[in-house]
Amino acid sequence: MTTPIAPDSAPATTAPTATPVIMDGPIMDGPGFGPGAAGGEGYRSPLLDGLNPQQREAVEYRGPALLIIAGAGSGKTSVLTRRIASLLETREAWPSQILAITFTNKAAAEMRDRVRAILGQGADGMWISTFHSSCVRILRREAEKAGLTSTFSIYDSADTKVTLKRIIKSLDADTLGFTPGNVSARISKLKNELADVDSYARNANMSDPQEVMFVEIFRQYTSRLRAASALDFDDLIGETVYLFRAFPAVAALYRRRFRHLLVDEYQDTNHAQYALVRELTRPVSRELAEEMEADGVHVRNLRDATGAIPGASLTVVGDSDQSIYAFRGADTRNISEFERDFPGTKVILLEQNYRSTQNILSAANAVIGHNFDRKEKKLWSAGGDGEKIVGYTAYSGHDEAQFVADEIEVLHQAGMAYRDMAVFYRTNAQTRALEEILVRAAVPYRVVGGTKFYERAEIKDALAYLISVANPVDELALRRILNTPKRGIGPATETQLASFAEANQITFRQAMRNAGALGLGPKVTGAILALSTLLDEAALKLDPASPAGPANVSELLTFLLDGSTLLAGLRNSRDPQDEARAENIEELVAQTKDFNRENPDSGLVDFLTQVSLVAAADDLDDASGTVSLMTLHTAKGLEYEAVFLTGVEEGLLPHQMSAGEPGGPAEERRLFYVGITRARQRLYLSLAMTRAQFGDINVAMPSRYLQEIPVDLIDWKQSPGMANSRGGTQPRALNARRDGFGGGFGKRDGTPPGLPPAPKPKTEWANRVTGTVRDNGDLTLAAGDRIRHVDFGDGRVNQVTGDGAKRIAHVQFDTAGAKKLLIKIAPIEKL
C-alpha cells in the first residue's frame, strides 16, 4: 500500500517511515487562525486592503478554475500570495492541501516569505516550490513504483554532457556531427514533449544513418541513467507524469491531498508541465475513493453526491504577451487555450500597472496589439504620462554605445543611481561595442546572466589563434587551441608534446612541427601537423615580403577560422547556445574590420594590445552600484528606473533566425514588449545605420516594431533624417517624422509632432565614434590641462577623480560637451 502523505516537516530526501493518520480538518495555530479568525458576518479581511477591484476579485473568487491574466507590473505576486492566505484564513483549506508552483527557486522563496509574513506559522506545511522540486519530493516518496531507489541521483547539465560525451566517443558518433551539446538539447526537447526513446524510435526514419545513430545514443543514455539510478532534470517531470498515469491509486492520493493548485508564469509551461497540472487536477473516481477510505485515508468530507472526489481547484497566473521561451519548449497555447481545456474557467484581467508611466505603457500596448491569438488587454497607470520615450538613430554600434554612455551620465548627474539603469540587447554579440565604450567612458557596469565579451570561451579561443601566430612561443595559447575545435588530441598527447619540448630544449610550437617523432598514432599526428601547418601559413601571410603584401588582421582571422573550422563547427551545430557563440565570433571578425579601417597602419600586435587593454580594465566602483547589461530574455521579471533598449533593427529585433519560424516574429514582438515594460520612468530606444552581420558591415534597417509605436510618444534626439534614405532628406526610422512629405505617420499637413525639421543637405554623420583605445602608461592629468581625443577633439580637464588604474578625467570638450574618460585607456594626448 502506498503511504498516505501528511503535512511536510521532513526534508524532501527523507522517506516516511511510518503510516501517519490523515485527518479531515486542519489543526492551526498562529496569526489568522483560531476562533473568529475569519471574522463573521460583515467581516472584511485586511488581506484585501490596498487591492484594486480586479485584484480583490482574484483573491476572493472560488471555483474550479481561475485564469488571472496579469499584465506586466500589475501586482500578480501580491494577488497570488493573498489568495493563498485567504484560503487559509477562511478555513477553506489547510496548509498541506495547497500546492503553489513557480519557475525559479528565488520566486518560490519570495512567495514563501510573503505568505509567512501574513500568516506566521500558519503557513507551515504548504508546498511552495518549483515544478522540479515538487516532482523530486513525489518521486522520492514513490521511488519503488517508479522503478528507482529513494536515493536516486539527479544529473545536472554538466553530468548529462559528460555521459553523452562518453557515449558519442564509444560510437564514433562525432564523425556524423554529434556533440554532447546538440544531443543534449535534442533529448531535452523530446523529454519536454513526454517522448522517450521507444516512442521516438517508432516514428524515426531508420533509413537515415543520422537518425539511427541518434536513436542509439538516446537509448544508451537512457540505459546509463537507469543503471546509475539517476534522472536528469527533464526526467523529473516526465517520470512523475508517467507514475500518475501508470498507478491511478498513487495519483489519487496526491489529487486528494492537493485541493488547491496555483501555478505562476503559466505562459512559460511546456507540454510536460501542462500534463503534470492536468494529472494533479483530475477528479478521483468513486471506486478509487472507496479504496482510499478502506485503506484508512479519510476522504469522506471531500466526496460529492456521486461518491467521487472532484478535481482540485486550479488557479493559474500568466500573460501570453510575455511568453518568450518557445526555444525552451514553452507553449503559449497552454494559456491561450486554457478556457477550452478547463471548462467553467473564470477569467480576470489585471490591467492596472504599478510600475511604468502611461507613455511607456501606451507604446507597449500599441506594439503588442499587433499580435493575434491573445487576450485583449490595455495596461494603464494612474501615475501620469511621464517623460516621452527617447529615440536615437546612430551611425554605428559604437555611436549607439556612446549615446547610451552619455545619457547614463546625464541621468546619473541628475541623481539616478547606476543600479537603477539597465541596457538591454537581443544578442550577446551586441555587448562588444557597449563594453568598449562604457569602459572608456568610465561607466561602472556588469553583465547580468552572462559573461563579459572578452571573457567568453569562444572569443578567447579565436584570440588564442591570433596570439599563436603573433607570438609562437606562447605555450598557453597553443595549448588552448590544440584541441579546439575537437581534433582527437587528448590531455595525454598534450603532456607528451610538452615533455618532448622540454627534453629537447625546443618550444612547444617546434614540438608540434616534429610531432612525427613522438610515436603517436597517424590520426593524432596528422591532426597536430595540420594545425602546425595552418599556423605557419598564417605567419607567412604577415610577411611584408609577401607578393600580395602583408595580410591585415581581418584577413588573418578569417583565414584561421576557415582553416580550423572553429566558426563552421559552431554554425553547423544544433545546440542553440552554439548559434550565439558563432554570433560572438562573427562580432570579433567585425571588430577586426573596424580596427583595419580606423588604424590602416597598425598590425596584429597592435590589435591584440588594444583588446588586452579593454579586457584587462578593472571594474569601476561606485557607491550607487553598477549599470546592468543583459539580454532581453534575461530581463524578464526585472524592472529599472531607466531602460536603454538597443539594436531595434531588422535582423536583430526581430532576430533574423525567427523570420522563417512559425510564430517567430510574434514571439520577437513579445520580447520587445517585455523590454519596454521593464522601464519605470525613462525608456530609450536606439538603432544604428550600420551593423555587423556575419562579420560584414551592412546597412541596418529600423525594426518593423518601431512603426507600431505612435509617433507622438517618441522624441527623436538624433534626427534620422541625416541618414542616407531618399538622398539624406528623410528619416530612416519607420515612424519618425517625414518632414516635407504629407501623410506618412504624422498629420495631414505634414507637420506631425516629433522631430525638428531635418537638415536637407546630406551632411557628415553627427556622432562618428570609433572604438579606439590607447595605453596611456603613466600619463598624469590635472584640472586645467588641455587634451585632444581621437573622437571628441580638443577639451579642457575640469577635475580628476579616482586612484591608480581607476583615475577618471572629467573633461569639457569644445564641441562634444562634457565627458568622463578612464585615463588608463582613453584615446587622448596631452596638449
Task: Give yes or no for a contact between 352 and 381, defined as CB atoms under 8 angstroms apart.
Answer: yes
DSSP, collapsed to helix, strand or coil, labels residue 200 as helix
Q: Which of 2, 55, 56, 76 is catalytic?
A: 76
Q: Burial level of 734, CB count in 10 A (0-12/13-18/19+)?
A: buried
Query: Using CA atoms, how far apart are residues 551 and 546, in angstroms rounded to an integer?
Result: 9
Query: Using CA atoms, how far apart are residues 516 and 507, in angstroms rounded to an integer?
Result: 16
Task: Give yes or no for a contact between 324 and 43, defined as CB atoms under 8 angstroms apart.
Answer: no
DSSP H/E element including 812: strand 808-813
Of 601, 683, 677, 584, which is closest to residue 639 (Cα–Cα)? 677
Helix axes 180-192, 157-171, angle to 10 degrees: 120
The Cα-based distances of 410 to 406, 647, 688, 717, 820 in angstroms read: 6, 21, 21, 14, 11
Instruction: Compute the C-alpha angle 279/283/286, nearest 5°.
Output: 130
Cα dihedral sign, 30-32-38-43: positive
Of 705, 637, 630, 711, which is closest to residue 674 (Cα–Cα)? 637
| 264 is known as an active-site residue | yes
Cα atoms in the 13 Å half-sphere on the side-chain side of 294: 8
Cell numbers that stand for 728 in this block: 539624406
| 265 is known as an active-site residue | yes
DSSP H/E element including 100: strand 98-102
The Cα-based distances of 281 to 252, 259, 341 in angstroms read: 10, 8, 12
| DSSP string across 129-176 | EEHHHHHHHHHHHTTTTTTS-TT-EEE-HHHHHHHHHHHHHHHTGGGG
Query: CB under 8 Å to 83, separation ≥6 — which residues?
Result: 58, 59, 262, 315
- Give the neighbor-by-neighbor strand order of the sheet with 786-789: 817-822, 808-813, 793-801, 786-789, 828-830
| 106 is known as an active-site residue | no
Q: Are strands 98-102 and 260-263 parallel, antiparallel or unpaired?
A: parallel
Q: Which of 3, 19, 77, 565 is catalytic?
A: 77
Q: Which of 678, 682, 820, 824 is catalytic?
A: 678
Q: Burial level of 324, CB count in 10 A (0-12/13-18/19+)?
A: buried
Q: Which of 273, 322, 626, 772 is catalytic?
A: 322
| C-beta atoms surrounding 646 within 10 Å | 29
Task: Give yes or no for a contact between 628 and 445, defined as CB atoms under 8 angstroms apart.
Answer: yes
| 678 is known as an active-site residue | yes
Active site residues: 76-77, 264-265, 322, 678
